[in-house]
Amino acid sequence: MGYATSQQLARYHQLYQNIEVTFTKEVIRTTGLIPQQVFLKSLGGQWPCVINSTSLVGAKVIAGIKSGVYEKIQQGVASVSLRFSFLNMEKNEPFSFFVAAKVTGMTPYAGSPDLILINLAFTQRAPDDLIERLGTLLEANVNSTKRREERIIVTPDALRKLGIAQKETIVFIQGIPRRCILRDVSFSGAKVIMVGIATFLNEKEVVLRIDFEDPRNAVGIKGKIVRTEDVEGRRDLVALAIRYDEGEVPMAYKMHINNFISQQRKTVEGDRDEEPSQKQAAAKGAPAAAKGNGDGTEEKKEAPNGSAPAPDVPDQPKETPAAEA
């Protein structure tokens, strides 16, 4: 986080300001929210609360009936500040900020006599840090549907931009771990290469393990082998096309794929911006600056069954259950 431009932030705010994000365990983990450091502040006091959901224009928080904030609101106090606290993944340290808000309503939470749900409307523009965190999360969800079939060929450069630790990984086929190599990935699936016979692998249920860096995290994605392909020049190898179970794709995985696609978009937009200046320089007789190829642009044009030599696949590990995938 922390690398969004002002144009990106304005775009996130315009597109997603009214969309509420419910803070499930996965969303808390993905955004780095620190629930223990979230508070409502009013008239010099602050009280712990739980963020139920938030957008860029308001939030819903859960507080106790016996907390001081409930008493303040009952007395007519409407102006509060909501304290957010997130973990900075790069520095591994927390950072916090307050958002001024007004109370627009209270209702019992889930029928509990001890808890209330407080509706808040922000009275100022959401801070950039909140816009970026919610914006990238929502953009990843949107793109996971809109660009679900856009494949990314796994080259060394793509590995670095995706934040994947290495292309060598493990796929659990009906609970049995098999070593494989990532060939391409997308929001909706992946292609891997491994030692095996296609006839015995088609239509099998799998869990694909992918290790990410920054932050270090391993995800297991459930799916199914929907197609097998021969690997040119290697009869002992087979390429497996895996289709993920749509409801089983981790949010962290979507975020990494979306970050890569966003980088590619910035590169393309940057190249377009360069063209007018190059034409102008050429018209004046001055040598135009050399234009880069654009990071990753060639990767997307590469055929999934390119003519590059097939990689060596390591020996298979001993058969063990996939319970920890």
The position carrying tokens 């999360």 is 137
Q: Tell me the CA distances in angstroms from 156 to 5, 92, 169, one per residue in order.
A: 26, 26, 15
How many angstroms separate the CA atoms of 33 and 18, rounded? 20
Question: Residues 6 or more apart from 300 whose CB is under 8 A from it?
Answer: 150, 151, 152, 153, 264
The position carrying tokens 């009214």 is 18
Q: For the chain, which residues make up each domain, given as ranges?
A: 6-146, 148-283+291-325
Q: How many residues does the chain have?
A: 325
Please name the fold of domain 148-283+291-325: Thrombin, subunit H (2.40.10)
How many angstroms separate the CA atoms of 160 and 155, rounded? 9
How many angstroms separate the CA atoms of 206 and 222, rounded? 6
Could you report the per-residue pLDDT of 272-319, keeping only the tens digit for each? 555 555 555 555 544 333 444 444 334 433 434 443 455 556 555 544
148-283+291-325 has the same fold as 6-146: yes
**Strand extents, DSSP E, the chain:** 21-22, 39-42, 45-48, 50-54, 58-64, 79-88, 93-108, 115-122, 152-153, 168-173, 176-185, 189-195, 205-212, 217-231, 234-244
70 in Cβ contact with 117 (< 8 Å): no
Q: Each residue's pLDDT tens digit in the chain (325 positions)?
A: 446 789 999 999 999 999 999 999 999 999 999 999 999 998 878 999 999 999 999 999 999 998 888 888 888 888 999 999 999 887 889 999 999 999 999 999 998 999 999 999 999 999 999 999 999 999 999 999 999 999 999 999 999 999 999 999 999 999 999 999 999 999 999 999 999 988 889 899 999 999 998 778 899 999 999 999 999 989 899 999 999 999 899 999 999 999 999 888 766 665 555 555 555 555 554 433 344 444 433 443 343 444 345 555 655 554 444 433 3
Considering the domain 6-146 in this protein, what is its CATH number? 2.40.10.220
